[in-house]
Amino acid sequence: MTASHVPLIERYRDRLPFAPGDPLVTLQEGSTPLLRAPVLSEMVGAEVRLKLEGANPTGSFKDRVMTCAVSAAVREGAKAVICASTGNTAASSAAYAARAGITCAVIVPDGKIAAGKMAQTLMHGARVIALAGNFDRALVLVRELTETHPIALVNSVNEFRIEGQKTAAFELLEDMEGDIDALYIPVGNAGNVTSYWRGFTEMGASPRLYGFQAEGAAPLVLGHPVEHPETVASAIRIGNPARWEDAMTAMTQSRGSIRSLSDTEILAAYRLIASGEGMFCEPASAASVAGLLKYGTDGAERVVCVLTGRGLKDPETALENNDGVTIHCEADMGALEEAVLG
Ligand code: AN7
């Protein structure tokens, strides 16, 4: 088997808290492509690559968490899993729970998750609780709930469940033969940036980590929680990240930084990645590229932007922000010629 046909936990079992013989819940996640980005490379004067986490089975990096979290839950005898989510964790936990044959409930901010994520979560048969509150509130409530009820919490809030995400750093080091100067990554609850740093340090690597938040949801940049986070990038509409300290440590130790971007800057990068590089990611993912374009490389030569989720997740935002045109056309040749060539 090639690496891409090996489940994540099997590929990196020696570096993950799973023993041979443990139950494995997998949808063949991980081993995602690393794509050269010639247009971006030209623009910033460095070798830019895109880590395509949207190529995971449910379309986001959260599958790395869920293969670990749901496998562990099944190992512990859980019959149900639950999470708070801005959408991708919900879709992923629902898929892995379906695969495991256990039930799944997700708590999401009512009306604030992208349509594709909602569709996935419902298709996998999960119970969706649309909360009259934001993600931060959902996370507080779900943590409290699981203290008194026997339901496994699959958010990446404990040490063990974050392990799966660090494997993306292993893959990058393998694909780039250790030669990576800087990583650009969107930051919401800050589990992912924490995990990449853990993965890099475990392998003795130390690229600079540059994290990016949306201006309206930038607690780590401001230095205090944001009570009413707002951004078009719904996946990172988070005002009080669970991994606050760890994320700051990662960025300080790697001599990187955490900075913010306007929704306009995020959407400009979102369109450019799609129309310039041919890769359709979701708005939150475009924050990595927007950060690279706004703040530059600081001398780095080989850089990676993490595209955390697939563009199809959020068709509404795509239909409202794109470089394409739609021409309504009568069904006759004259009108068609005019529409195509005019
Ligand atoms: C596409 O699904 O928090 O900094 O509940 O979906 O590790 O939170 C998603 C977050 C970036 C931020 N890009 O990662 C959830 C959730 C996408 C995301 C992030 C998320 P973290």
**Residue finishing a domain among 159, 189, 213:** 159
Which long-range contacts does 270-274 make (Cβ < 8 Å, 24+ apart)?
A: 270/317, 270/321, 271/321, 271/322, 271/323, 272/39, 272/40, 273/40, 273/50, 273/307, 274/311, 274/322, 274/323
Task: Give residue 64 CA to ligand 1 midpoint distance, Å.
Answer: 12
Q: How far is ligand 1, taken at its centre, from the CA of residue 56, in Å? A: 14
Taking the complete model, does pTM exceed 0.75, yes or no? yes
pLDDT digits (tens, 9 = 90+) for 88-127: 999 999 999 999 999 999 999 999 999 999 999 999 999 9
Average pLDDT (168-193) is 97
In this prediction, residue 4 carries a pLDDT of 62
223 and 124 within one domain: no
pLDDT score recorded for residue 224: 98
Instruction: Say yes or no: 118 and 246 in one domain.
Output: no
Percentage of residues in the chain having pLDDT higher than 90: 96
What is the rounded average pLDDT of the residues 171-186?
A: 97
Q: Are residues 237 and 313 in the same domain?
A: yes
CA of 332 to the centre of ligand 1 (A): 47
Structure confidence at residue 2 (pLDDT): 60
d(CA 114, CA 232): 10
- Which stretches of the chain are DSSP H helices? 8-11, 38-44, 62-75, 88-100, 115-123, 135-148, 159-162, 167-175, 191-202, 219-222, 244-253, 263-277, 283-295, 315-320, 333-341
Query: Buried b / exposed e across 124-133, counting CB within 10 Å, b at 16+?
Result: bebebbebee
176, 260: one domain: yes
For 72, the token pair is 């562990």
Predicted local distance difference test score (pLDDT) of residue 240: 97
Q: Domain range spanning residue 73?
A: 62-159
Ligand 1 atom 16, closest CA: 86
pLDDT per residue as tens digits for the range 253-302: 999 999 999 999 999 999 999 999 999 999 999 999 999 999 999 999 99
**181 and 245 inside one domain:** yes
Confidence of residue 67 (pLDDT cuts 50, 70, 90): very high
Check whether residue 129 and residue 206 sit in a common domain.
no
**Alpha carbons 9 and 339: distance in angstroms, whole number:** 52
Number of domains in the chain: 2
- Whether residue 331 lies inside any domain: the answer is no
